[in-house]
Amino acid sequence: MRDTTCGDCWRIENLTFAQRLDPALVRRGQRHLCEEHRAKREELAA
């Protein structure tokens, strides 16, 4: 179940505001994203 959880959604639900800004935690959450967040990442990366 955990492997299919969107990394961004997981961070929003489980981390404090300060932790969400931590690059190490942000990177760890990138392995899987829901369609909404994946589209958002691609927008930012473009």
Instruction: Supply 37's token pair.
Output: 């967040």
* Binding piece for Zn ion, criterion CB under 5 A, among 5-13, 15-23, 24-32: 5-13
- Does position 9 interact with Zn ion (CB under 5 A)? The reply is yes
Closest approach of Zn ion to the CB of residue 33, in Å: 6
Question: Amino acid letter at 11?
Answer: R
- Does position 8 interact with Zn ion (CB under 5 A)? The reply is yes
- Does position 11 interact with Zn ion (CB under 5 A)? The reply is no
Nearest CA to 14 out of 30, 27, 29 is that of 29
Residues that bind Zn ion (CB under 5 A): 6, 8-9, 34, 37
